[in-house]
Amino acid sequence: MLKKIPITVQTLLISIVFFLIHFGIATSFNHIDVLRFMMSYATQLVMTLSIIMALIKINEQAKQQLGFAFLGLSTLKVGISYFFATGYLFQNKEMLQINKTNFFIIFLFFLSLDVYFTIRLLNKK
């Protein structure tokens, strides 16, 4: 049933469910900076949706280049995430470890979504 929904909508739904679970766990165990937590999710979601839409376009036009495009876009995402994290998230020294942990959980989650949907695109006949 989930495979009949467009990939971008699937990404959005999975992200919302993961966000609610992660937010519930993070707020019950630690005092978190909610604004930075939400900003992490928002930037990663926007980048993931952009990558997925770009990969869908590339898949339609040049399927043989999809793997290279994924590597390039993922590298760009890592760079943007690094500058976002160091410039914005990791400035509060009191909450540094909590922000780092939550950021990397969020980053790895969205990276795994990128990988999963790229594999699905590559395996389409």
pTM of the model: 0.87
For 33, half-sphere exposure in the C-beta direction (CA atoms, 13 angstrom radius) is: 20
Residue (of 81, 77, 8, 12) closest to 40 by Cα position: 81
Residue 48 CA, chain-centre distance (Å), reads: 5
Residue entry with tokens 């969020």: 106
Residue written as token pair 């937590």: 37
pLDDT per residue, tens digit, the chain (125 aa), is 566 788 889 999 999 999 999 999 988 887 787 888 888 899 999 999 999 999 999 999 988 999 999 999 999 999 998 888 777 766 766 667 777 888 889 999 999 999 999 999 998 86
